[in-house]
Amino acid sequence: MSNTPIERNAAQIARDVNARTLSAAEVTEAMLAHVDAVDVAVGSYLTVLRDQARQAAARVDARIAAGERLPLAGVPLAVKDNMCVTGTRTTAGSKILEHWVAPYTATAVARLLEAGCIPVGKTNMDEFAMGSSCENSALGVTRNPYDLSRVPGGSSGGSAAAVAAYEAAIGIGSDTGGSIREPAAFCNLVGFKPTYGRVSRYGLIAFASSLDQIGPFGRTVEDCALTYDAMGGHDPMDSTSIDRPLETTAAHLRSDLSGVRIGIVKQFATSALGAEIDAVYAQAYRDLKALGATLVEVELPTADHGLATYYLIAPAECSSNLARFDGVRYGLRVDGPDVNDMYERTRAAGFGPEVKRRILIGTYALSTGYYDAYYVRAQKARTLIAQDFERAFASCDLIACPAASSPAFQFNAKSDPYSMYLMDYYTIPMSLAGLPALSIPCGWVTPPGGDRPMPMGLQLCAPLFAERPLLAAAHAYEQKTKHALKHKPTLTEVVG
């Protein structure tokens, strides 16, 4: 274990702080100094919460001194900037909320603070969580700590980059169509999206309400399990929160996969992704088998319709959710001669191109004469996708497939919307079905034109509410392969 607090995993930090061999204040000061040193290159944070972090550390140390034991004592936390934290600038990566200060704290964040976390800062993101690269942020640039010329993934790119660059021990993001799993794959992390409704969305600035789900980033599966256990569970403040007892996960991790049936999706063949990437996933499947799993072929015949389905449902919900940002109640206001002109000027100045694009798509899909043809048909397709998963899970316990079709790409490499949307091809079906899924490091490839290896992620997916066996299996795979430990991030090169 490293003697440097910033390089310790969340579980290690919590054990040391609870044992009083390390104080939360020491961890916090080391982390803030590291953020000051490296974030000028990485750009993870939009706001660093120095005062709040120090105050939280003092409270944690006082609680430990009083005899409490906290599951995440002293663990530095990076919070995606679409989650409210009282008294902090909460922007959703948009000019329209650039100076808005949250009056309350999101339930998921509040639960993590109660568990002992230290809030280091609010992290950069694609505007209103719309993007797969973090390039759509209106407020800053975030770079991949493993190659600063490449994107960290999106939309939760800032949280992923912060954890990968040791600027936090854990991060939280939101996943609508893959926005935790893809950045985790790009940044050599574990990124976990729980079952829809398992983590409260209260205090999360909504993108697509039937899809959004908060989840953790960690450098280990154990860290993600500890984070999920602390922030999951029913919340009466969220009408979509599921009132069902939470099965804790961190105490139920395992070291093998004996008796586990893992489905390999026929429609998700990796041969078209290139020989090197295909070899990474072929080896990942062999490693699962070597751990004792039985591999079975399963089919998801409607999965190929996932992209089209998602890009009707999500923009439709975005069109509705973002109607509240009109210059009257929140954030930016650009005055005009009358109220309608004020609405138009505010939204034209405040929203970026991708947000405008999705609002237009969603408004069109919901409009008279097109609602049945587009939105209703998309919801029917969503039901078929969920039913396909139910049939697949009749013959397997988990499903394994890619988390992304490529490693992290260079900035501006996917300038047309369609090629960017395709990045979510493997993650969207699970989101439409509301299933728990995660990405875990599974190997390294050197991209064309690149001069260093970049990480790849294996996606594991489970039936509804099966977080415990999902994380247990991921831990077994992690302990056998140790892919995440094979390379460290490069933070010395600054690309202008």
Domain positions in the chain are 5-260+400-485, 303-382
Contact 415, 136 (CB under 8 A): no
Q: Tell me the per-residue pLDDT of 218-257, one tens digit each, with 9 for 90 and over.
A: 999 999 999 999 999 999 999 999 999 999 999 999 999 9
Any idea which residues carry the catalytic annotation? 80, 155, 179
What type of residue sits at position 496? G
Domain 5-260+400-485 has CATH 3.90.1300.10: yes
Task: Give the residue-averaged pLDDT of 116-140.
Answer: 98
Put the strands of the sheet holding 118-123 in their side by side order: 45-48, 118-123, 76-80, 170-175, 213-218, 190-193, 437-445, 454-461, 398-402, 261-265, 294-298
Q: What is the pLDDT of residues 370-427, one digit of tens each?
A: 999 999 999 999 999 999 999 999 999 999 999 999 999 999 999 889 999 999 999 9
Mutual orientation of helices 353-366 and 306-321 as an angle, nearest 10°? 100
CA gap 450, 479 in Å, rounded: 29
**Residue among 285, 244, 227 nearest 465 (CA):** 244
- Give, as one character, the DSSP assignment of residue 8: S
Task: Write down the mean pLDDT value for the chain.
Answer: 96
Region 190-206 average pLDDT: 98
pLDDT at 3: 59
pLDDT of the residue at 448 = 85
Residue (of 80, 84, 153, 151) closest to 121 by Cα position: 80
Is residue 221 helix, strand or coil?
A: helix
Contact indicator for 229, 250 with CB cutoff of 8 Å: yes
81-109, pLDDT tens digit by residue?
999 999 999 999 999 999 999 999 999 99
Structure tokens at 285: 């499947």
The answer to whether the CB of 88 falls within 8 A of the CB of 101 is yes
Q: pLDDT class for 495, splitting at 50, 70, 90?
A: very low
Long-range residue pairs from 26-33, CB within 8 A, at least 24 positions apart, any chain: 27/57, 27/74, 27/75, 27/76, 27/118, 28/53, 28/54, 28/56, 28/57, 28/74, 28/76, 28/118, 28/120, 30/4, 30/5, 30/6, 31/5, 31/6, 31/76, 31/118, 31/120, 31/167, 31/168, 32/120
Q: What are the pLDDT digits (tens) for 286-342?
A: 999 999 999 999 999 999 999 999 999 999 999 999 999 999 988 999 999 999 999
Question: Can you give the pTM of this predicted structure?
Answer: 0.97
